[in-house]
Structure formats: structure tokens, C-alpha cells
Structure 1
């Protein structure tokens, strides 16, 4: 298990990365704008589940594989960029449509957030480059990685919950321009990932 001091240092190193707006925040804005505050939860859960996937891959040794095969990270980056561009197109097309008042289930928001995180090169790089800097070779690695992943998930969920509170209070009712602004942000993130 990682020491409290190690966890604190890891969270401090993560804070600038989490504070940088990305796909999760764009998806959160879209869901709150179109469906209200309760639709934030599937986005937060999908994003956090994506972190669990990255931690599991790190535990499984993907970090070592990627270090020896740089093309694997490039493949993740390209897939993530393509996914964000597709999501941007879908979001743009949905602008102006009347949102459903009572969605039957929350899985689309969850799945979108999960895929956006799993295919996010920034999230992958945290577990490939940053996490190893906070591991102690004399302690069991799985417990340390799980502790750091849990701390990461808690910090990110808290950050997104803070944004949820802010957006729920300040976001006007759905308008095509807010949906198109979200689509533009997703497109920019996708193009940046492909660059």
C-alpha cells in the first residue's frame, strides 16, 4: 500500500492534469445542459470506471508492454482521437433536437464517458509514466497501484462533482449553441489527439 505522503504527492502532481478541461468536462456540460443535474452521475461513474480500466491494465503489465512497443500508445491515441471526433459529430447533429425529458436509462452517458476516458491518451499516460514515479519497489506493487488509482478516482470524482454543482446553477436551458460549443470542444480534443 502506498504511504499517505506518497498519495499526497501523487494527488498534487495530478491536480494540474485534472484541472485541464477535457472530454469528461465537455460530456458533463452536455448532459447537464440537455438533461439536468442527475445526468452528471453516469458521466462521473463512466470516467472513474475508465480510470479503473487504466489501473487494471497497469497491473496487468500493459505499461511494460507499451514501453517496449511505443506503437501501442500511438494506437490508443489515434483511436481516442477518432472516437472524440465521432462523438463531436454526433453531438453537433443533436443540437436543436428536443432533449428527452425522462431518459429510459443512463448507459449512453456512462458508455460515452467510459470510452472517452479509456481511449484518452492523457489518462493512459498517467498510468504509464506518472504512477511508476510514485511506486516503491520494496513494497507490493498491486496494492500501491490500487491505492493510487483509488485516490485518483476520488480526486477526479470530487472535481467533476464540483463542476456539476456549478454547471447546474449557471447553465441555461438547452440551446443549440451550447450543444455546438460542446461539439466544438470535443472536436478540438479529438484533432489534438490525432496531431
Structure 2
């Protein structure tokens, strides 16, 4: 069992990382802007699932293998970078197609597709894995079960991420009138695309 003070310390340490704009927030802005606040749920669930996968990998020692093998780490990093860049290109092309046919109504993106995007964006992020290899060990006790402690901290991490993304969902929906304008949607989509590509390049370069 993790001591409550250890959980609070972990949350304080991970908060700056949660608050740093990344793929999850970018996906949230994109899908909530386009299809409403209901799309926040699959983004949150996909992100939370990714955190539990990283926690499971850490328990199994797989993340340690990736982090200590330069080839494996580079492979994961490049796959994640390629995914983000590809997602950015797809988003830009979708915005361009929308600009050419503004009167056409596009069907909403399926929730399972949004969930998969959020899941992959998190799982393919080696920096998320590094949290469970470098930060989590600082808040667990050697004389207790690692499994339970890591899963407890992963749950706290997922809850913090959920509250953060829900807060952004409220902010986005309060500006709903401006967000629903076609011109704003296209501009937001293109900004989102640039952010995805930038995140991919940053991931590959670090």
C-alpha cells in the first residue's frame, strides 16, 4: 500500500508533466471542437488506458528493457514520432478538404477511433514510459508489493489526467459559439496538425 503522502508527492511531481501540452490535450481540442464534449470521453479513456499499459510494462520490466536498450528505445521513439507526424498530416489534409467544400457535412468521428488515437499517442510516447521508470520508484517502498504500489500510483496519475482534460473540456465548450464557426474549425485543425508534427519531430529529436 502506498502512503497517502507518497501519492500526494507523486501527484505534485507529475503535475507539471500533465500540464505540459501534449498529444492528449491536442486530440481533446481537435475532437471536442469538431464533434462536441462527448468526444472528451474516448480521449480520456484512451489516455488512461495508455497509462495503465505503461504501469503494466513497468511491473513486467518491459519498460526497463526499452529504456536500457538504445536500439529498442530508439525504435519506440521513432514509431511514436512517425505516428504523431502522420496524424498531423492527416489532420491538415482533412482541414484543407473541409476548406474546399465548406458546405459538406462530415460524419462525426467514431468514438472507438478517437479512443485508439489517444491510446496510441500515449503508448507510443517513451517519455510516458520513463515516468514509471524514473519517477514512480521514488514513491514506492521496497518492503511492499511493487505491483499494488505501481497500480495505485497509475490510478492517481490517470485521475489527475482525467480532471485536467475535463477542465479543458469545460473551457473549450464555453467558447462553443466561436468554436463552431467553419473558419475557426479549419484554423484550429491546422494548428492542431502543426502541433502533432512538432510533437513528432521533438520526440524523434530527443
SS of aligned partner of 2:27: helix
Equivalent residues of 1:35, 1:100 under 8 A apart: no
Q: Give the 5 Å matches for 1:76-155.
A: 76-95=76-95, 96-97=97-98, 98=104, 100-103=106-109, 105-155=110-160
Unpaired stretches in structure 2, ≥5 consecutive residues: 99-103
Equivalent residue number for residue 156 of structure 1: 161
| Matching residue of 1:184 | 194
- Residues 160-193 of structure 1, C-alpha deviation per residue, up to 9 Å, x if partnerless? 0000110111251142111000000111000101
TM-score normalised according to structure 2 size: 0.89
Question: CA shift at 1:68, angstroms?
Answer: 3.5
d(CA) in 2 for partners of 1:91 and 1:2? 41
Q: In structure 2, what is the Cα distance between the partners aligned to 1:138 and 1:127?
A: 18
**Pair 102,81 (structure 1): closer, same or farther in 2 beyond 3 Å:** closer
| Maintained 8 Å contact 1:35/1:101 | no
Which entry has the higher C-alpha Rg, 1 or 2?
2
CA contact (8 A) 1:77 1:121 kept: yes
Say which SS state the counterpart of residue 141 (structure 2) adopts: coil
C-alpha RMSD of matched pairs (Å): 1.5
CA contact (8 A) 2:46 2:116 kept: yes
Q: 1:99 Cα deviation (Å)?
A: 5.6
Alpha-carbon distance, 1:66 to partner: 2.9
Quick check: 1:194 aligned with 2:204?
Answer: yes
Unmatched 5+ residue regions in structure 1?
Answer: none
Are 1:166 and 2:171 an aligned pair? yes
Tell me the distance in 1 between the aligned counterparts of 2:108 and 2:24. Answer: 22
1:71 alignment counterpart: 71
State the SS of the aligned residue for 2:93.
helix
TM-score by length of 1: 0.94
C-alpha displacement of 1:71? 2.6
User: What is the rounded CA distance, in whole Å, between the counterparts of 2:121 and 2:132 in structure 1?
Assistant: 16
